Structure 1
Amino acid sequence: MSGMGRAAKVRAERRLETARRGARLLDRKQRILEDELERLQIRTELARAEWGDLAKEATLWLRRAAALDGTGRIAAAAPLEAAGVVLRWGRAMGVLYPEDPQCRLPAALPTGGSSALHYTAVVHRSALEAGVRVAAAQRAEMLLAAELAATRIRQRAVENRWIPRLENELLQIRRQLDAQELEESLRLRWAADQNSGNTAGSMLAVGGKGD
């Protein structure tokens, strides 16, 4: 029984050490994700501010072009092909997220209108590129924030439930082993006392016969 108890103690100690090591790794992962998320949040704010300025400028020049050239010439200046986006992927603690997107813009058509119409097309292309950067940054921020929240939940589960449960299990095993060792010690002492008493009695009996 004591051998089985000692084996259970070793297993419980290993599981507890695994849980503690897991908690340390989750804490490290959480800190790395926090740092990366902070970096992405700063990048998102900068990209959002840039996109906001360009969008306002594009709106202003679109109104001027409409007043000078008319909506028909504006429509004729629109590219025939749609823009595309090529994403590069970053990685942080196993999380993939879009990073440094490249916007593929179609070739610009000759506007044939005023300089306002030409500049309107230029600023709209810049605003589109900035919008793509904002979208990618927001998506990256969302993915990392979701992983960070999940990591915090797992860490709390390990620290608040798994480790205390294993510590209690190990404590119970140690108490059981202590009780078994005490019982075994008392049994051996009792047996030794019995043997000592029997030996003394035999010696007295032998001495009595000699007299």
Structure 2
Amino acid sequence: MATLRIPPGRAGRLRLRRSLAVAVRGADLLEKKLSILRTEHQRLVQAEQAAAAAWHELLGEAETWLLRGLVLSGERALDAAAAGLAPAEVTFGWTMFMGAHHPSEVSCTVPARPPTAAAPGNTALINAEVTYRRAVVAAADYACHQAAARIVGAEVLSTRQRARALRRHWIPRLQDALTQVDLALEQNEHEDAVRRRWAAHVGEEGEPSG
């Protein structure tokens, strides 16, 4: 927390009032940002959960077909079917939302089986390949939503901490300091008034009588 440096007198009071107004305005803006971020984070979490469910379903289906294919033709048939296949290519698009830079879309391309590659040895392996292709696309979609939810969630936490720091610490310190300055100025003004009255009274008593 920053140290308060207050000029003496009315200049200090003016600076404190301005700092307090800025702090209150900042806290208001952070709380509005926090409300928007929470809504977006909830939407992203729901999208992440849906993407995760879709990926797990496809992955389970693909593994079922794979086991059937292995039972029918063995691991050598799987190795032969996988030979010559190119890896998938994944590209993410990014966006900025309320200070959070996160992936917003994904493109996943699974190359087709080249003509030179050996075909799967049985129908189960063919179905496994098709389903794994869909599962890879679903996995990329899940990764996109998961990363977005994590990044926006971190921004929610950071914004909440900053708003709380203003409301619970910085603003009360400014208010306390302003109260002390107001009391000091009031005391000084009272003492000045007393001195002026005293000086006026002494002056009147010191005047010669006519």
TM-score (norm 1): 0.86
Q: Can you give the 5+ residue segments of structure 2 that lack an aligned partner in the other structure?
A: 1-6
Q: What's the counterpart of residue 209 of structure 1?
A: none
Q: What's the counterpart of residue 174 of structure 1?
A: 182
User: Are 1:76 and 2:84 matched, yes or no?
Assistant: no
Q: How many residues align?
A: 200
Letter in 2 for 1:42: Q
Q: Among residues 25, 30, 50, which one is paired with 1:46 in the alignment?
A: 50
SS of the residue aligned with 2:103?
strand
Which is worse superposed, 28-37 or 112-121? 112-121
Deviation track 1:136-190 (CA, whole Å, cap 9, x = no partner) reads 2112211122221122222211111111111111111111110111111112222
Deviation track 1:90-118 (CA, whole Å, cap 9, x = no partner) reads 22211111122111212224625433322
C-alpha spacing 1:105/1:82, structure 2 compared with 1 (3 Å): same
Task: State the shift of 1:16 in Å.
Answer: 1.1
Question: How many angstroms apart in 2 are the aligned matches of 1:189 and 1:92?
Answer: 64
Which is worse superposed, 189-198 or 99-108? 189-198
C-alpha spacing 1:74/1:191, structure 2 compared with 1 (3 Å): same
Q: Can you give the 5+ residue segments of structure 1 that lack an aligned partner in the other structure?
A: 207-211
Q: Among residues 76, 83, 90, which one is paired with 2:95 in the alignment?
A: 90
Equivalence map 1:130-169=2 (5 Å): 130-169=138-177
Q: What's the counterpart of residue 184 of structure 1?
A: 192
Contact 1:82–1:106 at 8 Å: present in 2 too?
yes
Deviation track 1:59-101 (CA, whole Å, cap 9, x = no partner) reads 1111222233443333222253211210011222111111221
User: Are 1:5 and 2:9 matched, yes or no?
Assistant: yes
Contact 2:94–2:103 at 8 Å: present in 1 too?
yes
Deviation track 1:22-75 (CA, whole Å, cap 9, x = no partner) reads 111221121111111100010011001111110111011112222334433332
Identity of aligned residues (%): 38
Q: Among residues 15, 22, 40, which one is paired with 1:18 in the alignment?
A: 22
User: Are 1:62 and 2:70 matched, yes or no?
Assistant: no
The structure carrying a bigger helix percent of its residues is 1
Contact 2:78–2:120 at 8 Å: present in 1 too?
no
Which is worse superposed, 153-162 or 50-59? 153-162
TM-score (norm 2): 0.87
Equivalence map 1:110-125=2 (5 Å): 111=119, 113-125=121-133
Structure of larger gyration radius: 1
Q: RMSD value over aligned CA atoms?
A: 1.9
